[in-house]
Amino acid sequence: LAKTTQPISMDSYEGQEVNITCSHNNIATNDYITWYQQFPSQGPRFIIQGYKTKVTNEVASLFIPADRKSSTLSLPRVSLSDTAVYYCLVGDTGGFKTIFGAGTRLFVKA
């Protein structure tokens, strides 16, 4: 199973772009990279998923270099409500296990 490493915490200000990088050196060929957001006392919420290059949806972008050993979640123009924990997950090639990394606590200040 590919282990993920993320910064423990990050601070930002409203309106800034935030980039959170996740390292996954042992990612397997069939693995996808998935990011979740979690607010206190709520379950994680799916943000974005990708395999290679760049994926963009209405809330975020995901950048994955060619070697796929890392990925970067980009949140454009964050607001106070983006204060949360962000988890990077890499898929198990067996397709069953889900292992959350430690997550990154993002604090957005006014």
Partner 1 sequence: DTEVTQTPKHLVMGMTNKKSLKCEQHMGHRAMYWYKQKAKKPPELMFVYSYEKLSINESVPSRFSPECPNSSLLNLHLHALQPEDSALYLCASSQDLGAGVNQPQHFGDGTRLSIL
Binding site for partner 1 (CB under 8 A): 32, 34, 41-46, 49, 87, 89-103
Q: Which is nearer to partner 1, 8 or 110 (CB)?
A: 8
From residue 1, give the alpha-carbon distance in Å to each of 29, 38, 72, 76, 109. 12, 23, 20, 31, 36
Q: Which is nearer to partner 1, 13 or 53 (CB)?
A: 53
Nearest distance, CB of residue 75 and partner 1, angstroms = 18
Q: Alpha-carbon distance 98 to 91, whole Å? A: 7
Identity of residue 102: A
Nearest distance, CB of residue 15 and partner 1, angstroms = 28
Q: Which is nearer to partner 1, 70 or 87 (CB)?
A: 87
Give Dmax over CA atoms of the chain in angstroms.
43
Nearest distance, CB of residue 39 and partner 1, angstroms = 9
Q: Alpha-carbon distance 21 to 40, whole Å? A: 22
